[in-house]
A and B are shown apart, each in its own frame.
Chain A
Amino acid sequence: MGIVEVKDERVEKLSEMSKSQKTVFAHIEFVDIAGLVKGASKGEGLGNKFLSHIRECDAIVQVLRYFKDSDVVHVEGSIDPMRDVEIINTELIMADLEQVERLIPNLEKRGKLAANKDDAKLAGLLTQIKNVLLE
């Protein structure tokens, strides 16, 4: 995990203009997680359990390998960033699918009671998402 400053020139200008004693940049926290491999959702490699570490984040940065260096091994044995994107995105879809499928039955059950109308609605919404993920 690393916390960095967002070096925004505008902040520096504002600070100058207002003669601030202290210039505070916005901060952003990056969390690095272990690399996903093909089949992680089925337990390959380290599995996909560590995806829970990034569930709370606001955005996802995917680092794609473009450089060629035979000293640094690539799990798939060749350099192909677009293939890697496909693999990672598939794994992310599988992880979401797992979560949605776990949530739906309970929500449906609870939604059957009149008092829990929202749960029924949510179950419907998650089912829609599930169908999109399955495509």
Chain B
Amino acid sequence: MSKEELKTLKPYNLLTMKPFVYAINIGQEDISLAHKIADEFMLKLQSPVAIVSAKIESEMMEMSNAEKDEFIRELVNMDKVTHIPTLDDLITLAFSKV
């Protein structure tokens, strides 16, 4: 579709024409597998994927940044995990798409 055509269609706000981002809501026990899961779904969905854990996020909601750090450190074995997926990943990913 041409740029011109896309512009004419904009006011009709078709949902299927919008950029899609997927957030995979994983459990606490899957945290160490987050990377693997993200790769798997990126391949399957051919779309950007963010890994989040709504349960962990809800538990951390009232915490300060230092408390969050400690909480996560206790939760997972940091030797094995290089990056903890958080809501900030989703926010950054979503922002990159708009």
Contacts and interface: CB of A to CB of B under 8 A. Distances in A.
Chain B associates with chain A: yes
Contact of A59 (B44, B88, B98): B98
Interface residues of B, number: 36
Interface string A59-94: 111111111110000000000011001000100110
Interface string B77-98: 0000000000110111011011
Nearest to A92: B15
Contacts of A54: 15
A66 B26 contact: yes
Contacts of B54: 63
Contact of A64 (B14, B16, B22, B97): B22
Interface of A: 4-8, 26, 28, 30, 51, 54-69, 81-82, 85, 89, 92-93, 95-96, 99-100, 103, 118, 121-122, 125-126, 129, 133
Interface of B: 5, 8-9, 12-16, 18-27, 30, 37, 41, 44-45, 52-55, 87-88, 90-92, 94-95, 97-98
